Chain A
Amino acid sequence: QVQLQESGPGPVKPSDTLSLTCGVSGHSISSNNWWGWIRQPPGKGLEWIAYIYYTGSTFYNPSLKSRVTMSVDTSRNQFSLKLTSVTAVDTAVYYCSRTHCSSSSCYIDYWGQGTLVTVSS
């Protein structure tokens, strides 16, 4: 059974960089899947952030592209997110995920439990 677990340093100050890591168990990250991040501000909807393939190929949400970087560590079976210059609007529950894409489908089949990141001074 695939399991994903987010981890991060906790509260982040405005203008700092938010860094999160997602550990994957029960499945090799070096598989035909995309590994990504979605966030959800308190009381609001889901926002897709980005995903990465194990080769390092990435795609980012255009609205966040200038501030987001994803990386993958196949030796540790984990992937990471960095979001720079954060403000209060970046406060959200951040979910890591596995996305399965093929010629006919593209869907998120596994989600982490989510981690609340609060941006506050």
Chain B
Amino acid sequence: QSALTQPPSVSGSSGQSVTISCTGTSSDVGSYNRVSWYQQPPGTAPKLMIYEVSNRPSGVPDRFSGSKSGNTASLTISGLQAEDEADYYCSSYTDSSTLVFGGGTKLTVL
């Protein structure tokens, strides 16, 4: 299975919005709503931010939102805050009943 494709880096000023894309294939992202997003600050374990494309776990700010169109899922962070600076990873369920991650995107808050 090939890793999902994410941009290596994105940046935005405090208060602005950024969107991180996650492109897969018809064998994963395109066929399932089982797409999730994780936030990983340096030196820590990843944290679930979005599941089932657009659902937020309890405790995750509503500034975080997710969507999907075809083979591409997206994570949007609005009202950027300094604490949002981290690496972000998408993940999808696959036709083989496995999971696959994206390569990760480093978010810099200017």
Interface residues of chain A: helix, strand, loop or mixed (majority) = strand
Q: Which of B85-110 contact A (CB under 8 A)?
A: 87, 89, 91, 93, 96-104
Neighbouring A residues of B36 by C-beta, 8 Å: 105-108
One of A13-21, A71-79, A110-118 contacting the partner: A110-118
Chain A's closest residue to B37 (CB) is A107
| 7 residue pairs, one from A and one from B, having the closest CB atoms | A107-B36, A107-B51, A105-B52, A45-B104, A106-B34, A111-B45, A106-B93
Interface residue ranges, A against B (CB under 8 Å): 36, 38, 45-48, 51, 59-63, 95, 99, 101, 104-109, 111-114
Interface residue ranges, B against A (CB under 8 Å): 1, 3, 32-34, 36, 38, 40, 45-48, 51-52, 55, 57, 87, 89, 91, 93, 96-104
Query: What are 28 inter-chain pairs, A to B, with CB distance below 8 A?
Result: A38-B101, A45-B3, A45-B104, A46-B101, A46-B104, A47-B101, A48-B101, A59-B98, A60-B98, A61-B1, A62-B1, A62-B98, A63-B1, A95-B46, A101-B34, A105-B34, A105-B36, A105-B51, A105-B55, A106-B34, A106-B99, A107-B52, A108-B36, A108-B91, A108-B99, A111-B45, A113-B45, A114-B45
